[in-house]
Amino acid sequence: MSTPRTTNDGGETGRPPTAPQAVATPKAKMSRRQKAKISRGIQYGLLIVIAVVVALMADWPTLIGTFGRVDIAAAMFPEVVTQALKNTVVFTLLGFALGLAIAIVLALMRLSSVGVYRWLAFVYIEFFRGLPALVVFLVMGFGLPLAFPGFQLPKLYIIMIALALVSSAYMAETIRAGIQAVPKGQVEAARSLGMSSSRAMFTIVLPQAMRIILPPLTNELILLTKDSSLAYILGSSVDGRELTALARAEIVNTANLTPFIVVALCYLIITIPLSYLSRVLERKYGSAEAGVK
């Protein structure tokens, strides 16, 4: 309804301003509500059809016999929790802690005014970000002991270092982005108060960067939990097994795949709370930087 402003001057002719004319709009065959209802109906229907087809086609007795043997699952307890789950958590946390320390150093190197530091950090990050974690584990576990005959570290250290190498490359980039996301004015204010650039970094910038990068770091912890499964290729003593190693051993012992299901559930026990934590942190800090400009 575009009436030119000048002509619609109400009282001039005494005619009331014309109301939008409902008659002019063509009557739709279906209301929007009806359309939405039909669309939803089709989507649910499709879902049910797929579920029914899959359920009918599956060979349930074999499926349960292979993946769902309660007796085999029951026999894995309590070791699956007291040893394997515990080991997975320990490996992950140690790798994460060392990785985080390396990552902070790398991020600061990336932002250094010394070109060599920037370059070294860049090369490290590109290198380890581009390698499959599996390769890092193989080189750390088998390559280095062969190349340097004296190189004999306990397995726990090798796992920890391998996980740290892999995760630090990713986390370094996250931390660098977090540091750069802190407004430049924060450093200027700190410097104008007489803080040295390193004090400004550690008391003003890094604490604020940490809030920005907590959610992505939690995400990295989830990825690392799963990467820790690669420790199985190094082989281990019975009580050094983490979840995947235990599952593989049990599969051989029982000639059944149920242990994988049990172990999968154990991974989810770790990762689902972590992703919940990540979401909480994101809500809490995600837009909290509005106060800092």
CB 67 → another protein: shortest distance, Å?
49
Q: Output the smallest distance, CB 196 to another protein, in A.
A: 5
**């909480």: which residue's tokens?**
280
CA dist., res. 206 & res. 118, Å (int): 18
Least distance CB 198 / another protein (angstroms):
11
Tokens of 260: 């994988």
Q: Which is nearer to another protein, 68 or 183 (CB)?
A: 183
Q: Which is nearer to another protein, 4 or 194 (CB)?
A: 194
Residue 112 vs 186, nearer CB to another protein: 186
Minimum distance of another protein from residue 187's CB (angstroms) = 9
Q: Which residues of this protein are in contact with another protein, per CB under 8 A?
A: 183, 185-186, 188-196, 199, 203-204, 207-208, 211, 288-293
In angstroms, the CA 231 to CA 248 distance is 12
For the chain, the C-alpha Rg in angstroms (whole number) is: 30
Please give the structure tokens belonging to residue 264.
């999968």
Shortest Cβ 213–another protein spacing (Å): 13
Question: Is residue 99 within 8 Å of 224, Cβ to Cβ?
Answer: yes
Give kind and range of the element (H or E) at residue 199.
Answer: helix 197-200
Query: Cβ closer to another protein: 79 or 289?
Result: 289
The residues, any chain, with a CB within 8 Å of residue 12's CB and separated by 6 or more, are none
Minimum CB separation from another protein for residue 192, in Å?
4
How far is the C-alpha of 19 from the C-alpha of 1, rounded, in Å?
Answer: 9
Using the minimum distance from each CB to another protein, give the nearer residue, 111 or 195. 195
Please state the separation of Cα 84 from the chain's center in Å.
Answer: 22
Rounded to the nearest whole angstrom, what is the least distance from the CB of residue 285 to another protein in the complex? 10
How far is the CA of 56 from the CAs of 43, 59, 263, in angstroms?
20, 8, 27
Closest to 133 in 3D by CA, of 175, 180, 167, 91: 167
